[in-house]
Amino acid sequence: MTEYTPPKVWTWNKESGGRFAAINRPIAGPTSDKALPVGKHPLQLYSLGTPNGVKVTVLLEELLALGHAGAEYDAWLINIGNGEQFGSGFVDINPNSKIPALADHSTDPVTRVFESASILVYLAEKFGAFLPAGGKARVETFNWLFWAQGSAPFLGGGFGHFYAYAPIKIEYAIDRYAMEAKRQMDVLDRHLATSEYLAGSELTIADMATWPWYGALSAGALYDAGEFLDVASYTHVARWAKQIGERPAVKRGRMVNRVFGAPEMQLHERHDAGDFETKTQDKLNPPAAA
């Protein structure tokens, strides 16, 4: 391993390398003047179909499936690879410059909501769904919601970064975060052995925050690390992940703002419920006849 002696004061004098190096910087704030588009629905979501983005689109689709018409939304694509999270309009609604961010135009003035868990709680409370009103189930929902928010960065920013994205493979870093990723899967597995969903017998926003990360890992769809982390051994996580993944609203939520994978699964922007039938990438760009 190359030895590195940190200087007295760290300075930003080179790109760090690896995937996403071009968008990483040590300062906050906007880099360009750019207003955000606003569509016809009360809720305007600015996002991308990463695990953090999927949490919110799954909840919105579940709310609509329950009949909450006020949960209709426009989902605009924020391409973080192009630095769109640093536009002034986006920074106005999320000073942290990360997707997802939500603007609720049904309130006066417009309510901005950022941080995926804050968005989940805001919407669950607004519509009175997927967050138990009281008692043990509400506490358990918050326990697991905060667990997911605190744990996933070690899976994504820690394990995923060093296993899949870093320009060099560092055994020390991969060991450290593989150990933590497996420990987290075991935490979930032991709990889900005796609990249908994370907070008990009902699907809640805790599952919606956790599933996009740990459900994807369980399915071998995250960082191509299924074999490396032996995810098949976490059988209770696999049962829970499959059960959630089969819900029609979850299937729709996964497609929104998705810009990778099979074209029929990619709905870059969602402005109408009918878009799932007509605006996926396979429909917008049909393959040319041979």
Ligand X SMILES: N[C@@H](CCC(=O)N[C@@H](CS)C(=O)NCC(=O)O)C(=O)O
**Contact footprint for ligand X (CB under 6 A):** 23, 50, 52, 80, 85, 97-100, 115-116
Q: How far apart are CA 234 and CA 110, in angstroms?
A: 43
Residue 53 CB, shortest distance to ligand X, in Å, is 6
Q: Which is nearer to ligand X, 115 or 196 (CB)?
A: 115
Q: How far apart are CA 251 and CA 61, in angstroms?
A: 9
Q: Which is nearer to ligand X, 116 or 141 (CB)?
A: 116
Q: Which is nearer to ligand X, 23 or 170 (CB)?
A: 23
Q: Which is nearer to ligand X, 52 or 204 (CB)?
A: 52
Q: How far apart are CA 141 and CA 68, in angstroms?
A: 21
Residue 113 CB, shortest distance to ligand X, in Å, is 10
Residue 100 CB, shortest distance to ligand X, in Å, is 6
Q: Which is nearer to ligand X, 98 or 252 (CB)?
A: 98
Q: Which is nearer to ligand X, 75 or 189 (CB)?
A: 75
Residue 3 CB, shortest distance to ligand X, in Å, is 29
Residue 275 CB, shortest distance to ligand X, in Å, is 22
Residue 193 CB, shortest distance to ligand X, in Å, is 27
